[in-house]
Amino acid sequence: MIGGIKMADISVFGDSVLKGVIYENNTYKVSKNRFSNICEDILGISIENKAKFGSTINIGKNIISKNIDLIKETNSKYVVMEFGGNDCDYNWVEISKNPDKQHVPKSTIKEFIEVYSNLIEELKELGKQPVLLSLPPIDSIKYFNYISRKLNADNILKWMEGNKQFLINWHERYNIEVFKLAINNDIPIIDITSKFLEIKNYSRLLCDDGIHPNEEGHTIIAEAIKEHIEKRKIELVG
């Protein structure tokens, strides 16, 4: 209990995917049918969702630092994290203006690995078990159309050397690091990626921006989490 309020079973930290943000009718909103809500129902647990739209690993680090008491007081030993989707992103406005210049992502690979590794270690020191979620795949065409819709699309494509597939490849580059972080730190990872890739046209599980899962996609994520827990007979609380 903190301030007389019953604490949640599990706290989760991450970006807008974990928050349950969907893009619908040209507007972003948090879906009532987000996967964390579905998991609360099907797993019989309470989840404190501290994910935030636009979070990179550094923003996540600050949010976690502000919620140490919450983490300590949750009933479960597990703390769930999902980062990478914003870390790999670029300043498309600048790229649109200056396609011939060098540009860096919001978090470099090196920075992403270092900060994420430190977060994992800090949670372990609190007596918690970090659990990572992999990233759902994106749709390069949808995402390119979204990021370039008010910009110079030709310049952005020029910077990509004419290859829109760069978007999904670069996103997957960070996703690979998430799997490696789990292996190198000997912690669990719930594979969301494969669950999407098993579907022939997984793009139908994504919003029109090509990067956020829609409500059907959130159902798939919840199923992947449930299967992971049941297969390993994990006791979430206690």
Across 17-31, average pLDDT: 97
Residue 109 falls inside a structural domain: yes
Residue 2 falls inside a structural domain: no
Residue 200 has pLDDT above 80, yes or no: yes
Task: Kindly state the tokens that stand for 79.
Answer: 């703390």
Report the number of distinct structural domains present in the chain: 1
Residue 118 has pLDDT above 90, yes or no: yes
Residue 3 falls inside a structural domain: no
Pairing of strands 10-14, 21-24: unpaired
Percentage of the chain exceeding pLDDT 90: 90
Residue 18 falls inside a structural domain: yes
CA separation for the pair 135, 235 (Å, rounded): 24
Residue 44 has pLDDT above 80, yes or no: yes
What pLDDT is recorded for position 5? 35
How does 18-49 read in b/e, with b if 16+ C-beta sit within 10 Å?
bbbbbbeeeeeeebeebbbbbbbeebebebbb
What pLDDT is recorded for position 232? 84
- pTM score > 0.85 for this model? yes
Task: Kindly state the tokens that stand for 77.
Answer: 């030993």
Task: Kindly state the tokens that stand for 144.
Answer: 């390119």
pLDDT band at 75 (very low <50, low <70, confident <90, very high): confident
Across 158-171, average pLDDT: 98
Residue 172 falls inside a structural domain: yes
Task: Kindly state the tokens that stand for 126.
Answer: 């609190």
pLDDT tens, residue by residue, 79-110: 999 999 999 999 999 999 999 999 999 999 99
Residue 5 falls inside a structural domain: no
Residue 1: exposure state from Cβ atoms within 10 A (0-12, 13-18, ≥19): exposed
Cβ proximity of 47 and 53 under 8 Å: no
Residue 110 falls inside a structural domain: yes
Residue 238 falls inside a structural domain: no
CATH number of residue 51's parent domain: 3.40.50.1110
Give the domain range for residue 84: 10-231
What pLDDT is recorded for position 238? 56
